[in-house]
Amino acid sequence: MNSNEPPEKSQPQSAQHFRLSVRIFAGLVCFIITVGCLEIGLRLWSFAMNTDITRLKDDTYRRLYSPEELRWTEPPLSLQANPCVRRNLGGMRWDPRFGFASKILDKACAKDLFKSGETKVVLLGGSTMDSALAPNYLTTIDHYAFGGDASVVSINLAESGARLSNMLARFLYEVIELRPNVTVFLVGPLEFTSIQYGGLPADDFYWTAGVSRRVHHPMMFFLDKAIEESKLAQVLLIQTGIYPSARRTGKKIDLTLVDEAVDYYFRTQENIEAICEHYAIKCIFILQPNILVQSHLNARDRLIVQVDLKNFPQDQEITGRGFALLKKGRDGNHLLDPSGLFEGVPDAYFDVVHLTKVGNALLGKYIHDAVLQSVRKDEIRPLQH
């Protein structure tokens, strides 16, 4: 018998294979279209959810800032007031001592600069002290503080995400040898950021939010980055709790961790105070103003708080508890508190921590007065409580 299958029998089988291939292809196309539509829809929804705060920022720039103050440049004009510091805009920007490090200090330049001033000041803090949302140097805290005082020269080494322990490391390795008269530490909210992302009370924020995973579990880090690019993946994997992202917020937080973070803060401040005394540097610790702990809020302020609490449901509770403990001081270590200056002042904040030109001007003047008071050897009055 002829083992070859007759043509009339092989054709229907080929047709079946073809129809199956068409169905698979059609299914894949439908799947891709469905996923694409969901991704686009979620991106539009996310954009709509953030529209209020985006409009608020745009409106603030339009109403309050002059064309010269709005002139964005690259590198930022803010560095014109910080000539001995340049930005590192590429790579991981991680220093094993300081944590996140986007600023590179030219020490020779800094020492020459400090020869030109009667009072030499170094500013340390997070993105608020760095005036992160100021388009250029004209509306930065340091410009408002010392731009009109020729007797003071300053260098701003504030970094995004820096808590006091990060500032201590930078103080040890870069600031002390400059021999400033005064170092100002702007502190507060960033002491509690790590715990909001599931980290330990003494951990660095960026370490908690990604660097630790990049070092110890690099494949999970790159998976985090991939998920971050897709709104649908974030909803399906992170919001459901299926994937343990290092950047997930909104988890229930044990408030005793706030107390531990405060303990760590005061141990760090005590060490800094001892170092400052040894090197005859006046060190000033200022509690960063925060809209979450203010009493008098207008409609704009309430919107800022509402947007923040969508992402960080316990933020007000954590900040209120932490700030109350910081204001009490401990073992002779106190902080200055300028928050009263912000009560009832409109347009002072962009968000719960970052300041507009109005807020920067208030805080800048406060810092200027605190610096002059310290160099005149007047006693800096601790917080009243």
Distance of CA 313 to the CA centre of its chain: 18
Q: What is the CA radius of gyration of the chain?
A: 27
SS3 of 262, please?
Answer: helix
Q: Which residues of 199-213 are buried (b: 16+ CB within 10 A; e: fewer)?
A: bebbbbbbbbbbbbb
Whether residue 331 contacts residue 266, with contact meaning beta carbons closer than 8 Å, is answered with yes
Nearest to 223 by CA among 232, 209, 213, 231: 213
Torsion sign across C-alpha atoms 33, 34, 36, 37: positive
Residue 91 has a pLDDT of 73
Going by DSSP bridges, is the β-strand pair 103-105/119-124 parallel, antiparallel, or unpaired?
unpaired
- Give 307's DSSP letter: H
How far, in Å, CA of 370 to CA of 357, rounded? 20
Residue 88 has a pLDDT of 82
Nearest to 186 by CA among 240, 132, 224, 129: 129
Residue 379 has a pLDDT of 47
SS3 of 168, please?
Answer: helix
CA angle 39, 40, 43 (to 5 degrees): 85
Residue 207 has a pLDDT of 87
How far, in Å, CA of 266 to CA of 333, rounded? 7
Residue 13 has a pLDDT of 73
180: CB partners within 8 A, 6+ apart = 114, 120, 121, 122, 155, 281
Residue 380 has a pLDDT of 45
Give the domain 67-196+253-375 fold.
Rossmann fold (3.40.50)
Residue 382 has a pLDDT of 45
**Integer CA distances (angstroms), 384 to 209, 295, 324, 327, 373, in order:** 36, 17, 12, 8, 18
What would the DSSP string read from start to end of 196-245? HTT--TTS-HHIIIIIHHHHH-HHHHHHHHHHHT-HHHIIIIIITSSS--
Q: Which residues of the chain have pLDDT under 50?
A: 1, 77-78, 378-385
Residue 385 has a pLDDT of 35
347: CB partners within 8 A, 6+ apart = 60, 63, 64, 300, 356, 358
The pTM of the full predicted model, rounded to 2 decimals, is: 0.84
The count of other CB atoms within 10 Å of the CB of residue 375 is 17
Residue 17 has a pLDDT of 75
Q: Residue 247 burial (CB < 10 Å; 0-12/13-18/19+)?
A: middle
The count of other CB atoms within 10 Å of the CB of residue 88 is 12
Whether residue 130 contacts residue 159, with contact meaning beta carbons closer than 8 Å, is answered with yes
How far, in Å, CA of 108 to CA of 79, rounded? 17
Query: What are the residue ranges spanned by the domains of the chain?
Result: 67-196+253-375, 205-239
Break the chain down into helix, strand, coil percent, rounded to 5. 55, 10, 35
